Protein backbone atom coordinates (compact mmCIF):
# COMPACT_ATOMS: atom_id res chain seq x y z
CA UNK A 1 0.00 0.00 0.00
CA UNK A 2 2.85 2.37 0.78
CA UNK A 3 4.35 1.78 -2.69
CA UNK A 4 1.02 2.60 -4.33
CA UNK A 5 0.57 5.70 -2.16
CA UNK A 6 4.02 6.95 -3.17
CA UNK A 7 3.35 6.18 -6.84
CA UNK A 8 0.48 8.68 -6.70
CA UNK A 9 2.78 11.20 -4.96
CA UNK A 10 0.95 11.31 -1.67
CA UNK A 11 3.67 12.36 0.78
CA UNK A 12 1.68 11.29 3.83
CA UNK A 13 -0.41 8.27 4.58
CA UNK A 14 -1.92 5.78 6.93
CA UNK A 15 -1.89 2.10 6.03
CA UNK A 16 -3.79 -0.66 7.81
CA UNK A 17 -2.45 -4.10 6.95
CA UNK A 18 -4.54 -6.88 5.49
CA UNK A 19 -5.88 -9.69 7.61
CA UNK A 20 -4.78 -12.64 5.50
CA UNK A 21 -6.36 -12.09 2.10
CA UNK A 22 -9.05 -9.77 3.45
CA UNK A 23 -9.14 -6.07 4.08
CA UNK A 24 -6.34 -3.60 4.05
CA UNK A 25 -6.93 0.13 4.00
CA UNK A 26 -4.85 3.09 2.91
CA UNK A 27 -5.38 6.83 3.07
CA UNK A 28 -2.89 9.08 1.31
CA UNK A 29 -2.68 12.86 1.12
CA UNK A 30 -0.38 15.65 0.01
CA UNK A 31 1.55 17.97 2.32
CA UNK A 32 -0.81 20.90 1.80
CA UNK A 33 -3.62 19.01 3.52
CA UNK A 34 -4.10 19.23 7.26
CA UNK A 35 -5.20 15.75 8.37
CA UNK A 36 -5.74 14.79 12.00
CA UNK A 37 -6.09 11.09 12.77
CA UNK A 38 -9.08 10.34 15.00
CA UNK A 39 -8.65 6.56 15.02
CA UNK A 40 -8.33 3.44 12.93
CA UNK A 41 -8.77 -0.31 12.99
CA UNK A 42 -8.80 -3.07 10.38
CA UNK A 43 -12.15 -1.79 9.06
CA UNK A 44 -11.85 1.97 9.04
CA UNK A 45 -9.57 4.99 9.02
CA UNK A 46 -11.18 8.04 10.65
CA UNK A 47 -9.70 11.53 10.16
CA UNK A 48 -10.57 15.21 10.37
CA UNK A 49 -9.76 17.23 7.23
CA UNK A 50 -8.98 20.92 7.03
CA UNK A 51 -8.44 22.02 3.41
CA UNK A 52 -7.59 25.59 4.37
CA UNK A 53 -8.71 28.26 6.79
CA UNK A 54 -11.58 29.38 4.53
CA UNK A 55 -13.59 26.16 4.80
CA UNK A 56 -14.92 24.41 7.84
CA UNK A 57 -13.17 21.29 9.06
CA UNK A 58 -14.90 18.08 8.00
CA UNK A 59 -14.60 14.41 8.81
CA UNK A 60 -13.63 11.57 6.49
CA UNK A 61 -13.92 7.88 7.28
CA UNK A 62 -12.61 5.20 4.96
CA UNK A 63 -14.71 2.10 5.61
CA UNK A 64 -14.41 -1.54 4.62
CA UNK A 65 -17.56 -3.50 5.44
CA UNK A 66 -17.80 -7.17 6.29
CA UNK A 67 -17.65 -9.46 3.27
CA UNK A 68 -19.57 -12.12 5.22
CA UNK A 69 -23.21 -11.27 5.83
CA UNK A 70 -23.05 -12.94 9.27
CA UNK A 71 -20.62 -10.24 10.44
CA UNK A 72 -22.46 -7.19 9.11
CA UNK A 73 -24.39 -6.36 12.28
CA UNK A 74 -21.06 -5.71 14.03
CA UNK A 75 -20.02 -3.39 11.21
CA UNK A 76 -23.25 -1.42 11.33
CA UNK A 77 -22.70 -1.03 15.08
CA UNK A 78 -19.18 0.25 14.37
CA UNK A 79 -20.67 2.81 11.97
CA UNK A 80 -23.22 3.84 14.62
CA UNK A 81 -20.46 4.24 17.23
CA UNK A 82 -18.38 6.33 14.84
CA UNK A 83 -21.34 8.65 14.31
CA UNK A 84 -21.09 9.83 17.92
CA UNK A 85 -17.50 11.12 17.57
CA UNK A 86 -18.17 14.42 15.82
CA UNK A 87 -20.84 16.90 14.84
CA UNK A 88 -18.90 18.08 11.76
CA UNK A 89 -19.83 17.31 8.17
CA UNK A 90 -18.97 13.64 7.67
CA UNK A 91 -18.15 11.67 4.54
CA UNK A 92 -17.84 7.89 4.71
CA UNK A 93 -16.17 6.31 1.66
CA UNK A 94 -15.31 2.76 0.84
CA UNK A 95 -16.75 -0.64 0.24
CA UNK A 96 -19.71 -1.35 2.51
CA UNK A 97 -20.32 -4.76 0.93
CA UNK A 98 -24.02 -4.01 1.12
CA UNK A 99 -26.76 -2.28 -0.84
CA UNK A 100 -30.03 -0.64 0.15
CA UNK A 101 -32.01 -1.82 -2.85
CA UNK A 102 -31.85 -4.75 -5.23
CA UNK A 103 -32.10 -2.15 -8.02
CA UNK A 104 -28.41 -1.41 -7.30
CA UNK A 105 -27.47 -4.99 -8.25
CA UNK A 106 -25.90 -5.92 -11.55
CA UNK A 107 -26.26 -9.69 -11.70
CA UNK A 108 -26.03 -12.24 -8.96
CA UNK A 109 -28.75 -13.29 -6.59
CA UNK A 110 -31.00 -10.76 -4.90
CA UNK A 111 -30.34 -9.69 -1.34
CA UNK A 112 -32.80 -10.40 1.45
CA UNK A 113 -34.88 -7.39 2.49
CA UNK A 114 -33.92 -7.76 6.18
CA UNK A 115 -30.24 -7.61 5.21
CA UNK A 116 -30.67 -4.36 3.26
CA UNK A 117 -33.00 -2.96 5.93
CA UNK A 118 -30.30 -3.42 8.59
CA UNK A 119 -27.88 -1.34 6.50
CA UNK A 120 -30.52 1.35 5.88
CA UNK A 121 -31.30 1.48 9.61
CA UNK A 122 -27.61 2.08 10.37
CA UNK A 123 -27.47 4.86 7.77
CA UNK A 124 -30.62 6.44 9.18
CA UNK A 125 -29.25 6.25 12.72
CA UNK A 126 -26.06 8.00 11.58
CA UNK A 127 -28.04 10.53 9.49
CA UNK A 128 -26.04 9.50 6.41
CA UNK A 129 -27.28 9.84 2.83
CA UNK A 130 -25.91 8.70 -0.53
CA UNK A 131 -23.51 11.15 -2.24
CA UNK A 132 -24.45 9.84 -5.67
CA UNK A 133 -27.63 7.80 -5.91
CA UNK A 134 -26.96 4.16 -6.58
CA UNK A 135 -23.35 3.99 -5.37
CA UNK A 136 -23.70 2.87 -1.77
CA UNK A 137 -22.26 -0.59 -2.29
CA UNK A 138 -18.89 0.86 -3.25
CA UNK A 139 -19.17 4.58 -2.88
CA UNK A 140 -19.78 7.29 -0.40
CA UNK A 141 -22.30 8.56 2.05
CA UNK A 142 -22.61 11.96 3.66
CA UNK A 143 -23.93 13.62 6.79
CA UNK A 144 -24.94 17.29 6.81
CA UNK A 145 -26.20 19.23 3.81
CA UNK A 146 -23.63 22.03 4.27
CA UNK A 147 -20.88 19.82 2.85
CA UNK A 148 -20.01 20.45 -0.81
CA UNK A 149 -19.03 17.56 -3.05
CA UNK A 150 -16.38 19.70 -4.78
CA UNK A 151 -14.39 19.72 -1.51
CA UNK A 152 -13.65 16.03 -2.12
CA UNK A 153 -12.84 16.61 -5.78
CA UNK A 154 -10.33 19.32 -4.80
CA UNK A 155 -8.86 17.07 -2.13
CATH of the domain at 32: 3.60.10.10
44: Cβ–Cβ under 8 A, 6 or more apart, which residues?
A: 25, 61, 62, 63, 64, 78, 82, 94
Q: pTM to 2 decimals?
A: 0.81
pLDDT tens for the 155 residues of the chain, in order: 778 888 888 899 898 887 777 667 889 988 888 899 999 988 899 999 987 767 788 999 998 888 888 999 999 999 999 999 878 889 998 888 888 888 877 788 888 899 999 999 999 999 988 776 544 444 566 665 455 555 455 44
Distance from CA of residue 90 to its chain's centroid? Answer: 9
Provide the domain count of the chain. 1
pLDDT of residue 100: 84
Range of the domain at 93: 2-154
Q: Would you state the torsion angle of the CA atoms of residues 124, 73, 24, 63, taken in this order, to the nearest 10 degrees?
A: 10
Q: What is the DSSP letter of 153?
A: H
114: Cβ–Cβ under 8 A, 6 or more apart, which residues?
A: none
Q: What is the DSSP letter of 50?
A: E
User: How deeply is 45 buried, as exposed, middle or buried, from its count of CB atoms within 10 A (0-12, 13-18, 19+)?
Assistant: buried
pLDDT of residue 137: 45
Alpha carbons 106 and 37: distance in angstroms, whole number: 36
Amino acid sequence: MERIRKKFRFQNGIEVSTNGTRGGLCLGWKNEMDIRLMGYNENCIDVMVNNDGNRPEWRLTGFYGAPDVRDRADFWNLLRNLSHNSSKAWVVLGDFNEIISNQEKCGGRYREEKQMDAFQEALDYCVLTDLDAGTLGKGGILRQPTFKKDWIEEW
